[in-house]
């Protein structure tokens, strides 16, 4: 049987980054996926490396927002009635953790991870010779009403003071100067200047993977649910036969529970699904930045394939059939805002953000199994946090000092 130093299960942005960091530290690493790398959630996101995202997305607390979402006609958040009995407990915990004083404490644990997101991407991208796939210049959150704009600017200012996040306030004229092809339907915007953006997250992940392989790492296909412990080692079946290692990292994103549950862990995981569709642009129109229609809750992102429209949160069971109603509701509004041309994809793409009820990812040792590590649950920020997660896992496994305090992310908090 083939022996390596480490197995990494799941080749999304998180698993690829973990595998890169382990191989970089001299551990012979095998990265496993049942598909090609970067073909699930990490494939089709909005491509934002969210340096501003220090406060994770909470559950609405005010009655107006709750009533709006309860009506199930919104664009930013919808739910499947049939899923409610299974996810109600999770939602209650999520809502409790979103109360202002708890949420603020969570943000203080989360911010140190977020603060490193751009530099940790840059470090891998530089080594992997794919810095050209990461763009500078940030992204823009635009507002239809002055009330929403002023509230967001107030919040941005408090994040600047507490977390050092940088932004520019744009009035309608400044927004038009930054994005000349947007129709003047917004009263202003918040320009987050420090985030980086990735027009093609799939290509970036494949670039990181190619460098992992050049360093001697192995990418193999196989089913992670074959993972078992035998004689103090972890063994998994791959297309090229069984492989064993003294340590294994579960980085299966929304599918993590397929492995962890079999090992006796009942972790509170749920998904917020999301969709995308690409469009052509009429008359040679283009976007200089990703732009968010903040009060409606969809993004328009310039990508090599066309303008990518991405949607907000759909609370549904992970494997329920696709119901891209948010895309259908957002498209007419997006067409009023930007001269979208025809749809370019045969069907909407669907992804599933892997979520925990305290909005923090699970990064660290498995509580009851030696040599087993967890790296999943990154919710809205898995592209953002893949590289810093890889670094943390690499440091913990190698017994190095960690770049941020990893205590808040341990699985044994549940």
Ligand X SMILES: Cc1cc2nc3c(=O)[nH]c(=O)nc-3n(C[C@H](O)[C@H](O)[C@H](O)COP(=O)(O)OP(=O)(O)OC[C@H]3O[C@@H](n4cnc5c(N)ncnc54)[C@H](O)[C@@H]3O)c2cc1C
Rounded to whole angstroms, the Cα distance separating 263 from 261 reads: 5
Name the one range near ligand X by CB under 6 A: 37-45, 149-157, 278-286, 332-340: 37-45
Three-state SS annotation for 143-205:
ECCHHHHHHHHHHHHHHHHHHCCCEEEEEHHHHHHHCCCCCCCCCEEEEECCCEECCCHHHHH
> By CB under 6 A, is residue 253 in contact with ligand X?
yes
Report CA-CA distances (Å) from 98 to 56, 137, 225, 270, 345: 9, 30, 33, 16, 36
Q: How many helices (H) and strands (E) would you count in the chain?
A: 11, 23
Question: Which of 309, 380, 392, 393 lies at the binding interface for ligand X (CB under 6 A)?
Answer: 380
Q: State the nearest-atom distance from the C-beta of 190 to ligand X, in Å.
A: 16
> By CB under 6 A, is residue 370 in contact with ligand X?
no
Name the one range near ligand X by CB under 6 A: 126-134, 178-186, 247-255, 330-338: 247-255
CB 258 within 8 A of CB 252: yes
Rounded to whole angstroms, the Cα distance separating 221 from 31 reads: 8
Nearest to ligand X of 11, 406 (CB atom):
11
- Taking alpha carbons only, the member of 297, 294, 410, 396 closest to residue 362 is 410
> By CB under 6 A, is residue 56 in contact with ligand X?
no
What dihedral do alpha carbons 295, 301, 306, 311 form, nearest 10°?
-50
Q: State the nearest-atom distance from the C-beta of 328 to ligand X, in Å.
A: 15
* DSSP β-bridge partners for residue 248: 7, 372
> By CB under 6 A, is residue 200 in contact with ligand X?
no
> By CB under 6 A, is residue 238 in contact with ligand X?
no
Question: Which of 254, 371, 390, 394 lies at the binding interface for ligand X (CB under 6 A)?
Answer: 254
Question: Which of 29, 45, 97, 303 lies at the binding interface for ligand X (CB under 6 A)?
Answer: 45
Displacement of CA 268 from its chain's centroid (Å): 18
Rounded to whole angstroms, the Cα distance separating 192 from 239 reads: 44
∠ CA 151-147-111, nearest 5°, is: 20
Q: State the nearest-atom distance from the C-beta of 374 to ligand X, in Å.
A: 11
Nearest to ligand X of 9, 69 (CB atom):
9
Q: State the nearest-atom distance from the C-beta of 257 to ligand X, in Å.
A: 10
Question: Which of 135, 141, 276, 296 lies at the binding interface for ligand X (CB under 6 A)?
Answer: 276
Query: To which residue do tokens 């949420």 refer?
Result: 103
Question: Which of 143, 255, 298, 409 lies at the binding interface for ligand X (CB under 6 A)?
Answer: 255
> By CB under 6 A, is residue 47 in contact with ligand X?
yes
Nearest to ligand X of 164, 262 (CB atom):
262
Interacting positions 213-232 with ligand X (CB under 6 A) = 223-225
Nearest to ligand X of 122, 223 (CB atom):
223
> By CB under 6 A, is residue 12 in contact with ligand X?
yes
CB 26 within 8 A of CB 48: no
Burial of 295: CB neighbours in 10 Å, binned 0-12, 13-18, 19+: middle
Question: Total residues contacting ligand X (rule CB under 6 A)?
Answer: 43
- What values do phi and psi take at 224, rounded to 5? -65, -20
> By CB under 6 A, is residue 73 in contact with ligand X?
no
Question: Which of 383, 388, 392, 406 lies at the binding interface for ligand X (CB under 6 A)?
Answer: 383
> By CB under 6 A, is residue 11 in contact with ligand X?
yes
> By CB under 6 A, is residue 381 in contact with ligand X?
yes
Site string for ligand X, 333-352 (x = CB under 6 A): ------------------x-
Burial of 82: CB neighbours in 10 Å, binned 0-12, 13-18, 19+: exposed
> By CB under 6 A, is residue 384 in contact with ligand X?
yes
> By CB under 6 A, is residue 302 in contact with ligand X?
no
Q: What single string gives the DSSP state of each residue in 265-303? A: -----EEEEEEEEEEEEGGG---SS-EEETTTTEEEEEE
Question: Which of 22, 27, 46, 243 lies at the binding interface for ligand X (CB under 6 A)?
Answer: 46
Q: State the nearest-atom distance from the C-beta of 291 to ligand X, in Å.
A: 13
> By CB under 6 A, is residue 135 in contact with ligand X?
no
Under the rule (CB under 6 A), what is the footprint of ligand X? 10-15, 32-35, 39-42, 45-48, 50, 223-225, 251-255, 258, 274, 276, 310-311, 351, 353-354, 376, 378-384
């Amino acid at each position: 049987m083939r022996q390596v130093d480490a197995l990494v299960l799941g080749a999304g942005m998180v698993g690829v980054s973990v595998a890169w960091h382990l191989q970089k530290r001299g551990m012979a690493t095998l990265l496993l996926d049942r598909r090609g790398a970067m073909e699930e959630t990490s494939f089709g996101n909005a491509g934002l490396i969210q340096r501003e995202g220090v406060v994770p997305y909470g559950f609405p607390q005010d009655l107006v927002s709750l009533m709006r979402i309860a009506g199930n006609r919104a664009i930013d958040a919808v739910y499947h009635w049939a899923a409610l009995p299974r996810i109600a407990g999770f939602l209650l915990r999520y809502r409790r953790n979103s109360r202002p004083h708890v949420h603020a404490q969570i943000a203080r644990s989360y911010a140190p991870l977020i603060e490193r997101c751009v530099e940790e991407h840059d470090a891998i991208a530089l080594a992997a010779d794919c810095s050209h796939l990461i763009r500078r210049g940030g992204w823009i959150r635009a507002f239809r009403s002055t009330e929403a704009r002023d509230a967001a600017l107030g919040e941005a200012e408090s994040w600047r003071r507490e977390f050092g996040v940088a932004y520019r306030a744009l009035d309608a004229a400044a927004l038009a100067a930054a994005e000349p092809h947007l129709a003047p339907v917004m009263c202003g915007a918040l320009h987050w200047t420090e985030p980086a953006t990735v027009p093609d997250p799939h290509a970036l992940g494949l670039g990181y993977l190619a460098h992992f392989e050049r360093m001697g790492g192995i990418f193999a296909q196989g089913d992670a649910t074959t993972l078992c412990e035998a004689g103090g080692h972890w063994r998994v079946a791959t297309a090229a036969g069984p492989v064993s290692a003294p340590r294994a990292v579960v980085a299966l994103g929304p599918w993590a529970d397929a492995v962890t549950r079999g090992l006796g862990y009942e972790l509170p995981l749920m998904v917020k699904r999301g969709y995308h569709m690409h469009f052509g642009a009429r008359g040679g129109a283009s976007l200089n930045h990703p732009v968010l229609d903040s009060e409606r809750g969809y993004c328009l992102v310039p990508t090599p394939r066309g303008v990518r429209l991405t949607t907000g949160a759909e609370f549904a069971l992970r494997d329920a059939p696709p119901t891209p109603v948010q895309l259908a509701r957002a498209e007419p509004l997006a067409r009023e805002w930007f001269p979208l041309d025809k749809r370019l994809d045969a069907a909407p793409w669907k992804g599933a953000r892997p979520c925990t009820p305290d909005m923090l990812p699970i990064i660290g040792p498995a509580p009851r199994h030696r040599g087993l590590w967890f790296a999943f649950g990154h919710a809205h920020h898995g592209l953002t946090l893949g590289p810093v997660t890889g670094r943390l896992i690499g440091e913990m496994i190698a017994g190095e000092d960690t770049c941020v305090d990893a205590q808040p992310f341990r699985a044994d908090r549940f």
